[in-house]
Chains A and B, each alone.
Chain A
């Protein structure tokens, strides 16, 4: 069920990313989408890394409202929590969602956060905090989680003894398609636990008759029937129990247990020949299954009860042989696990490509130890430990590749350093020379600009003379000086002509002053375009120059620290992997030991029963001989 909830959580995330509000299509954050791309493939390290990096950058922005991420910031915060949850980082996921819960957010968002946090607590088996959190939900609950929230709430109530409340909720969920079978089964259990056995049985009976194409629903249907069957056996009603046990499908996960139980109900009713039907079916199944092994004793037992002691003796003998070979297989498996082959098989990449890898692993001839571990592998503790082992193995590989990355980065930096250090001094020298020229020209331009602005309020025609006019004016000034003290008649004439020419010059400059000023502005404006181009080239050069320095300077400390962190983490991962591996091995060996003990018990029973059947068969033969 835990897996079911977890997968459901991911579906929920994917739905909310894919759907969302329509405006998001145009404003979606590509990096957030990239994180989902990895999450959808189960690559949570990449998904969390991308989203963490993106959220870190977003939180450092001066104006986050300009970033497309701000449209989806709540969604992103939830998603990082969801990814962490899927990556089995309950502690951090809890903190991330808790911060949303305690923040100043809308009620519907707060309710969703509370739901997710409660789900985390449930996954950690912390029912008390799960109850505390789910009870914080008040008011409107987002549509997409409404039924999930109710189902989770019911589960929490059941686990905290609030059966009346759980029953009410589960009754309201009876029409919910997503929980078809699950809600009825849970309602039955809640009623039984609340002391309303008959009503509970009614609901289990209902759950046991649901028709569906869904594997999950069919499995819960079988489970309901098996549970009813077992309850009725315990209550001494084997006839009724058999009806339910016979409803269990012959191919589902509960079929072996149901067949075994069905045989025992026949035995309890004294119908030994009928018991042979389900048990003979079981005998043809995988010999490592507990129910199959028990049926190997059950079948000869039934034959013995039918007074077919010879047949019984033969079957006990066959069972003894099989128990012996299974015990040898168990010994070989325990040895194989101790030699580390089990862990090696678990982390093989080839195996992980297959969705049904647990089943496939069981079929591999080189991993005999897994024959008996299917049940253990399905247990929550083992699954959690195994997933941790997989994660650690993945992290170990990543850390190894990161060491290579860091080597490559250092090489890049070294080559860039060699390249730039040889060319940059000369470039800098040339740049300084050009820079001083540029500054001078810009100052000149600024002076012209200031002067032209001044000329608007106090006109200065002389400033707008052309070069020729300036030369003429200078020449006239020289001539004036030359003939200043000459009193001859020709000099007087020359002075008059000079004055006339000066007048002409003044007339020209004064009458064309506005036009000249406009022209000057135009030219200055044209110059501005060139100045802007120059500034753009200058800025581009400065950026490139800075980029050149930044491409190889300032990384040493960061890379050294990263290298140390990678090395430390690698050591920790190796230690944890060894401990986790040891734990898995211990769990596997424990499981195999239990199965060994059980088989040895069966062996003892079979030996006694064999001799008894043999004696009875011989006695019967003698009696029959005597009678003849």
Chain B
């Protein structure tokens, strides 16, 4: 038997030894069993998470005063959104600086809930400012206002952002 054949045989032997050693210590059944337990605890915790979300909404943002602002991008628009600032009735409500991952999620069609708060029923104004970059890395700044009426049910406002090359309105609103 030449050296080459010996080497191949030895490698095979080592693999077998390794496989046996692994089988003694961590079996597929053990991995599977533990994985099932992890799945069970995930299910329990997701249940808690959903209940906490509902509790938070009921306790902190009851429907008669709740207002939520959602941000979406115009479909197919790939401009770089850096930050968004929101004012409600002239007061700062929130601002957000976007990470690359968040921007990608928006560009893929995701909807970001930017703000949830409480306001009284009646007429209100929302002001939105966006900062971003257009083609050729030029600064892109936009502002827009929108009047809306809050009634008994939760108020959802969608803010639709478009880039400089879009034919759409730069900052659109839908409620």
Contacts and interface: CB of A to CB of B under 8 A. Distances in A.
Contacts of B35: 88, 384-385, 388
Interface string A371-415: 000000000010011001001100100110010010001001100
B157 to A, nearest CB: 9
A36 interface: yes
B55 A562 contact: yes
A583 B30 contact: yes
Interface stretch (A144-152, A279-287, A543-551): A543-551
Contacts of A37: 102, 105-106, 110-113
Interface stretch (B38-46, B81-89, B126-134, B141-149): B38-46
A470 B60 CA distance: 60
B28 interface: yes
B153 to A, nearest CB: 12
Interface in A574-628: 576, 579-580, 583, 586-587, 590, 593-594, 597-598, 601
A500 interface: no
Nearest to A584: B26
Interface stretch (A47-55, A171-179, A442-450, A512-520): A47-55
A497 interface: no
Contacts of B119: none
Given A14-B109, A41-B104, A92-B39, 20 more contacts: A17-B108, A33-B70, A36-B109, A38-B110, A41-B110, A49-B46, A50-B53, A381-B26, A388-B34, A388-B38, A399-B45, A405-B52, A409-B56, A555-B59, A558-B51, A583-B31, A590-B22, A590-B26, A594-B18, A597-B17
B101 interface: yes
A395 B42 contact: yes
A601 B101 contact: no
B52 A391 contact: no
Contacts of A17: 108-110
Nearest to B60: A412
A268 interface: yes
Contact of B111 (A33, A52, A53, A566): A33
A40 interface: yes
Contacts of A160: none
A18 B75 CA distance: 8
B3 A267 contact: yes
A48 B45 CA distance: 11
B113 A34 contact: yes
A399 B68 CA distance: 26
A301 interface: yes
Given A41-B101, A388-B38, A34 B70 contact: yes
25 contacts: A14-B108, A30-B70, A32-B111, A36-B105, A36-B110, A37-B102, A37-B112, A39-B110, A49-B53, A50-B53, A89-B39, A91-B36, A267-B3, A384-B35, A385-B34, A391-B38, A395-B41, A398-B49, A402-B52, A412-B59, A558-B55, A573-B45, A580-B38, A594-B17, A597-B18
B7 interface: yes
B41 A53 contact: no
Contacts of A143: none
A268 B6 CA distance: 12
Contacts of B58: 550
A33 B109 contact: yes
Of all A-B residue pairs in the complex, the 7 with the closest CB atoms, nearest first, are: A33-B111, A37-B110, A18-B109, A40-B105, A594-B18, A49-B49, A388-B38
Nearest to B46: A48
B34 A551 contact: no
Nearest to A49: B49
Given A14-B108, A40-B110, A381-B31, A565 B43 contact: no
Contacts of A45: 45-46, 49
Interface in B1-21: 2-4, 7, 10, 14, 17-18, 21
Contacts of A90: 39
Interface string A532-574: 0000000010011001001100010011001001100100110
A583 B41 contact: no
A131 to B, nearest CB: 20
Contact of B42 (A30, A33, A391): A391
B64 to A, nearest CB: 6
B55 A594 contact: no
B48 A586 contact: no
B158 to A, nearest CB: 6
B93 interface: no
Nearest to B54: A53
A88 B41 CA distance: 12
Contacts of B158: 30
Interface in A15-44: 17-18, 25, 28, 30, 32-34, 36-41
B58 to A, nearest CB: 8
Given A89-B39, A90-B39, A388-B38, A30 B21 contact: no
Given A384-B35, A555-B55, A555-B59, A547 B64 contact: yes
Contact of B34 (A53, A391, A583): A583
Given A36-B111, A91-B39, A301-B3, A41 B48 contact: no
Contacts of A48: 46
Contact of A572 (B28, B41, B51): B41
A264 B7 CA distance: 10
Interface string B53-76: 111101110101100101010010
Nearest to A264: B4
A18 B108 CA distance: 6
A256 B43 CA distance: 43
Contacts of A88: 35, 38-39
A279 B21 CA distance: 30
A89 B42 contact: yes
Among B36, B59, B65: residue with most chain A CB under 10 A? B59
A381 B148 CA distance: 54
Contact of A40 (B7, B43, B62, B108): B108
A87 interface: yes
A147 B60 CA distance: 48
A576 B38 contact: yes
A56 B75 CA distance: 29
Contacts of A33: 70, 72, 109-111
Contacts of A594: 14, 17-18, 21-22
A590 B45 CA distance: 32
Question: Of A53, A413, A562, which is in contact with the most chain B CB atoms at under 10 Å from its CB?
Answer: A53
A52 B46 contact: yes
B119 to A, nearest CB: 14
A355 B134 CA distance: 27
A565 B38 contact: no
Given A34-B113, A381-B28, A543 B52 contact: no
Contacts of A540: 121
Nearest to A413: B59
A34 B52 CA distance: 17
Contacts of A53: 50, 53-54
Contacts of B72: 33
